Every structure is written in structure tokens, then in C-alpha cells.
Amino acid sequence: MSLPAASRGRAALAPAIAFTVLALVLSIGAYVIAGFGKRGQLPATFAVYASIFAGGYVGGLLVIRAFAARADPALFPTAAVLVGIGFAMIFRLSGGLAAEQATWILVGLIAFAITLVVVRDARMLDAYTYTIGLLGLLLLLLPVVPGIGQTINGARLWVQIGPLGFQPAEIGKVLIVIFLASYLNQKRELLQVATSRIGPLRLPPVKHLGPVLLAWGASLAILFLQRDLGASLLYFGIFVVMLWVATGRASYLVIGLVLFAVGAYAGWLLFDHVQLRVDIWLNALDPDTVFGVGYGQLAQAQFGMATGGLVGTGLGQGSPGIIPFAATDFIFAAIGEELGLLGSTAVLLLFLVLVGKGLRIGMRASDGFSTLLAVGLSTLVALQAFVIVGGVTRVIPLTGVTLPFVSYGGSSLISNFVLLGLLVRLSSGPAERRRA
């Protein structure tokens, strides 16, 4: 796995500028149109938010040129467009939330810059396997600690320290992926050994199944302790995928799927809220239940998207405010309503571009750790987007996670910018020593 010739020097400047300008135009444009749609005039906040976008995106471009010159020129702009669409939608839903989101975008961009500046070489993360893993686990479990943990909307995900509330699991996810990349890279060969077979499946020695069972147990623990179905699914999915990519053993996928099925079924048997989720998923539009709590939420999302139709009502012209949690969990439905099938498809495509680029970075990386890290981070974005978008569109039962880069929320936005920073770092390779 060597770097292709084209990416050895600095990446061409023109495409990077062109993509960034495009992202800037789309983001500010969507926000201005939302303003006109809402009030029929240029938003009063135009100068402030336009400067934040312009300053932030140009700043992001400059940091990339300075510290990751060979980075893929489209990676940052693709995420930036998602952020812009999300911001326009949030602004359209609530001026107050938009002000907060603008702050988070700024903080997120700073986190992105810090990531690129501090992590000069992704491989340096490989040295702290267990430190990072432990830290990730701590962050995951922090909300369960009595006194600082908060239960909001039925899930114990929040930590409140003084006036500052945040969801530590968001950044915890990224740390866990780094840990898994490092851990699996070290144990790859060990885990690849097959000693027994069942039919076409070649099974690894039982003692090496330990990690799979451990991850499965941890996922179930999250489900039990935090009642967070979405996160539980996500961690287990990422773990199984990374394990399979690292070892090439399909048996891990099969075992993973079986364990997932068992876990899901057990969860369904044991927990009322899981049963309710499934029932809501199946019967959201049933005339008998459509007005019920939970059913109504999901039904409103369907109504919003259906009302939007092919081209949508136009930004600021629909009624996505009717959908509960429209700025967070249900932002995809709000986009579907106001930007139509064209808009929601565009969002899906942007995620595909982002994930595709991430996987390509993984294939081109020079070492196993970088490959697994790129694949893990990309899979995290892809699965999280699928879990929430699939939930909102009733492909799968709804579990509340944010839509990466798009949804309102500081913890989510900041950790996704850190994730983006890592992907940009991986696509560029180690930063060059500055020549005087």
C-alpha cells in the first residue's frame, strides 16, 4: 500500500478553492433562502452568520493547506455543505437554535484545526492504544455516574457539570474507533487464524472470540444502563465491521449477525421501550395509533416528507416545526419536506461521497492502523447516518442519534469535526517538516 504518485506533492490548489467556495455559496445561499422563505427578507443576522461561514470555511481551507497539504480537496467541502444545509434548516426552525449552532460550528472548526495541528501523523495515535480505549470507555460510561449524569428524553446520555451540558459518548465514539483500529491492527494475525469449521464457516479459536463477546456484552450494557438502542447498535456494528475488515474472516460477520439478532430479540423480550419502538415502527400510520405519543412523531415525519414531494415546499415554506425534534433526530424529515426528494437525495449522496472518500483513504493508507482508522471512522459516519435516516424513513425502527454534521447539537458537531480532521490527516499523510 504505497501512496499514488499524484498525492505525493501538494494537492492542486484550484480544486480545493473551487470546492470550498462552492460549499460556502451553498451554505450561505441555503441560509439566505430560508430567511426569505421565513420572513420574505434578508435575515437580520446575515452579516454575522455569513462571516462565520466565510471565515470558518476559508480558515479551514488555510489550515488544511498549512498542515495537510496533500489532503483530498473535496473532503472538507463535502462535510461543509452538510453543515450548511443543516444550519439553514435549523435557522428556519428556530433563530435561537441557529445562534447556538453557529457557535458550535465555530467551535467545531477550531476543534478541526486543533486536530490537524496536534495530530501531525495519524500513526502517533497508535502508540496510545489502551489509554485512548480507556478514555473512550470512561466517556461512554460517564452519564451513568450518579450526580453528573442526566436522563433526557428517556436516555441517559448527558453529563451536566455546572452550566455545561454535553454528551460525552459523541467524542467517546471517535476514541473507541481509534482504539479498535489500534487494537485490531495489533491482533490481526492472531484473529485471522482459523482452527475449526462449521459447514463453510471457518472459526477462530474460542479464546480469540473473547473480544467479540466482550464488545457484544458492552453493547448490551449500554442498552441496559443507558437505554440507548441507537448507540448500542452503532458500537456493535462498527466493531464487527472493523473486525471483519482487519481479518477478512466472514465468520466474524456471521457470528456478529447472530449475536446481534440474539441481542435484539432479547432486548425486544426484556424491554418495554424496545417493544414500543418496534410497534411504532410498524404502526406509525395506523389510524388507531397515529395520534399516539411516539407514533405521532414518526407519522409527522412521514407527512412532512410526503408533503414535500419531489421538489419540496421550499426552504421556509413548509411546516417542519410540526415534527418533534425536527432540528436533531428528525432533521432529515425536515429537509425532505422543504427541499423535497431532490434535497433528501442530495444529502444521501453527500454522505456517500464522504464515506466513499473515507474508504478510499483507507485503501491508500500506508499502514494497517491508518487503513483501519479510516475505515472505522467512515463506517461510523455511514452507520450513524443510516441508523437515523433509516429510522426517520421507517426502513428500521427509530433510534435517536444525530445525523452527522447536519443535526443541531454541540457535542455531535464538535466530535464530527474532530473525526473529519482525522480523515483529512489520513488522506494527506504525515505533515511535512516546514522548510525554512
- Contact residues for other proteins (CB under 8 A)? 33, 36-37, 40, 241, 244-246, 248, 285, 287, 290-291, 296, 299-300, 302-310, 313-314, 316-317, 319, 322, 336, 340-341, 344-345, 348, 351-352, 355-356, 359, 362-363, 368, 371-372, 375, 379, 382-383, 386, 389-390, 393-395
Cβ–Cβ < 8 Å for 74, 353: yes
Query: What ranges make up the beta strands (E) of 138-257?
Result: 149-152, 155-161, 164-166, 196-198, 201-203
Residue 425 beta carbon to other proteins: minimum distance, rounded to whole angstroms: 19
60 or 362: whose CB is closer to other proteins? 362
Output the smallest distance, CB 204 to other proteins, in A. 16
CB 260 → other proteins: shortest distance, Å?
15
Q: Which of 93/139 has CB closer to other proteins?
A: 93
Measured CA to CA, the distance from residue 289 to residue 284 in angstroms comes to 7
Residue 127: partners with Cβ closer than 8 Å, 6 or more residues away: none
CB-based burial of residue 375 (10 Å sphere; 0-12 exposed, 13-18 middle, 19+ buried)?
Answer: buried
Report how far apart, in Å, the C-alpha atoms of 2 and of each of 5, 68, 242, 372, 434 are. 9, 18, 21, 15, 23
Q: Say if CB 88 and CB 27 are below 8 A apart.
A: yes
Comparing CB distances to other proteins, the nearer of 215 and 246 is 246
For other proteins, the closer of residues 241 and 419 by Cβ is 241
Closer residue to other proteins in complex, CB, 66/311: 311
| 172 neighbors 139 (Cβ within 8 angstroms) | yes
Parallel, antiparallel or unpaired: strands 149-152 and 155-161: antiparallel
Q: How far is the CB of 404 from other proteins (least distance, A)?
A: 13
Q: How far apart are CA 289 and CA 299, in angstroms?
A: 10
Residue 304: which of 319, 283, 316 has the closest Cα?
319
Q: Is 295 in contact with 301 (CB distance < 8 Å)?
A: no
203 or 322: whose CB is closer to other proteins? 322
Q: Supply the minimum distance, in Å, between the C-beta of residue 369 and other proteins.
A: 11
Nearer to other proteins, 53 or 303 (CB): 303
Minimum distance from residue 225 beta carbon to other proteins (Å): 28
Q: How far is the CB of 281 from other proteins (least distance, A)?
A: 12
Q: Which is nearer to other proteins, 165 or 314 (CB)?
A: 314
Nearest distance from residue 16's CB to other proteins, in Å? 24
Residue with cell 444545509: 85
